[in-house]
Amino acid sequence: MQNELSSEMTELTRLDHIILQNGGKTVNTERLPIFLQISKNERSLSLEELQFEIGRLRQEVALHQEAQKVLMKLFNDTRDVYQLLRGALMKAASRCTRDTSFLELAYNVQDAGLMIQESLHGVSEKLTISESKHLQTLGISLDDTKGKDFSVF
């Protein structure tokens, strides 16, 4: 009975095989006897290595928090643009004179476009800076001397 339960728990799906072939691990593959044996033979990390790993994980969390913050700003800016456009369309639809309505609509759409462009540029720039800081803490430096990574047109 125990062997049946054990073999049932380590049954791999097609996706598990694909992930394993590409160097990844899943919960199912880690339960295979060969991986269990390997984990028993691995040496424990030293205190210094664990502290380094904790620092690395903190930097990664900081990167994700910064990304969340700037993406939420993008979301809020996008919502503001949507409300601006919706208001402009409602005003244009309710007015009788087409010429002034169209001009007002055109200016509002132009303003909305500029808001979107500024917001995307700011988010892209902040994410690039955060990513760069994160990579530097890992000892990876990217040569972005021209600043092209965050150019939004």
**34 shares a domain with 8:** yes
**57 shares a domain with 17:** no
Q: Work out the average pLDDT over 142-153.
A: 50
Is the per-residue pLDDT at 3 higher than 80? no
**27 shares a domain with 55:** no
Is the per-residue pLDDT at 153 higher than 70? no
Give the highest mean pLDDT range of 1-10, 29-38, 119-128.
119-128
Q: Work out the average pLDDT over 10-37.
A: 79
**58 shares a domain with 37:** no
Q: Which residues contact 63 (CB under 8 A, 6 or more apart)?
A: 130, 131, 133, 134
pLDDT in tens, 91-123: 766 665 666 767 777 787 888 888 888 888 888
pLDDT of 9: 53
Overall domain count for the chain: 2
Dihedral (Cα; 81, 83, 87, 92), 10-degree rounding: 50
**111 shares a domain with 71:** yes
**8 shares a domain with 78:** no
**58 shares a domain with 33:** no
Domain hosting 136: range is 47-150
